Amino acid sequence: MSKAKIAIACLVSRRVPILKTHVAQLSKCKYKDFHLYVLTENLSDEYKTLIAKHFPNNATVVDHFVPSDMNYMEKIHHVISMEHEYSVKFDEDSILTADGWDRMFSLIESMGEEDLFCTGAITNGVPACDYYIDNFINPTDRSILKNMFSFTSFGNMGFADYTSLNSVQNPGNWDVVKFYDSVKKINNHYLGIHPVRSNFMAQKFLNDAILRGLPKTMEPIKSEIVRDKQYPYFCDTFFALRTKDWKTIVSRKELFVDLYDEVPLNRYWKETGKNMVIDTGVPIWHTMYNWSQKWDYENDLIEQINRIYS
């Protein structure tokens, strides 16, 4: 049997139940030239059976990882060692419908040599959330969200001081261009900042708006494909790239500042001058950032998502 063109690396931590939605949606895809890798620690037989039922020949569960911050890169190294032409990395809290996955597969195969990685309109993504909100959220909720963004204040997070961003915040008038221009001036490795990430109430309101607007808020639409070199940073919740490029990135030890590959990906992107590609018409629902630590809220949200999509 020939090797699948695309490896899908699903990195699973505490949100194991959402696997039901991922399995259900991926099994409905028209595109079949992928291999799913579920990378976790001690997955129960219930989920192993579910995955084997839907993907008897194109899924592998690797659950020998020891719980630790160190296992993130171990999971990445495992997937890239499988030598597929392309690789998708997504955290288990990122949800696509089958139609969304099919659009992403098409985008992946369309990438030129000038494109480093691609992604979709991640609901609370940095920088994709503003595309998602403009394309999928109704005008009333959109206006409320942007107002919430404009009133968000920033401080020193310890690992990065974002207080300078307050100088461009204009309550009642969210200006995303001025905001990112200000982010570019921050002297720090971690530039993945946006009100949608630091303001939990904005995250919750956005999730509520998505739920109210279903199914339209998760149905792909025809929209602009953005090729960008100028955004200051990409939060790597969901992305795809050529496996050879991922290998190069993770082999460059001087690019790392911590135990994850987000900063190396961003540094290599800026170094090469290649494109980040965003299909702004493909919704990717990211439940919540860990900064908020509202685990009970997220668990309830995942239960709702599973009821709808699994």
- The pair of structure tokens assigned to 144 is 């409320």
Find the mean pLDDT for residues 115-142: 98
Phi first, then psi, for residue 163 (nearest 5°) are -60, -25
Find the mean pLDDT for residues 90-102: 97
Give DSSP secondary structure letters for 176-240: HHHHHHHHTT--SS-----HHHH-HHHHHHHHHHHHHHTTGGGS-----EEEES-SS----SEEE
pTM beyond 0.85? yes
Q: Where are the domains of the chain?
A: 6-113+234-274+295-309
Contact (CB, 8 A) for 275 and 116? yes
CA 126 to chain CA mean position, Å = 9
> Exposure of 259 by Cβ count < 10 A (0-12 exposed, 13-18 middle, 19+ buried)?
exposed
Rounded to a whole number of angstroms, the distance between the first and last alpha carbons of the chain is 29
Find the mean pLDDT for residues 36-42: 96
In the chain, how long is the greatest CA-to-CA distance? 59
Over residues 130-144, the pLDDT tens digits come to 999 999 999 999 999
For residue 7, name the pLDDT band (cuts at 50, 70, 90): very high
- The pair of structure tokens assigned to 170 is 């204009």
CATH superfamily ID and name for 6-113+234-274+295-309? Spore Coat Polysaccharide Biosynthesis Protein SpsA; Chain A (3.90.550.10)
For residue 68, name the pLDDT band (cuts at 50, 70, 90): confident
Tell me the three state secondary structure of residue 75. helix
Tell me the three state secondary structure of residue 253. helix
pLDDT at 1 > cutoff 90: no
Over residues 195-227, the pLDDT tens digits come to 999 999 999 999 999 999 999 999 999 999 999
Cα–Cα dist 230/226, whole Å: 11
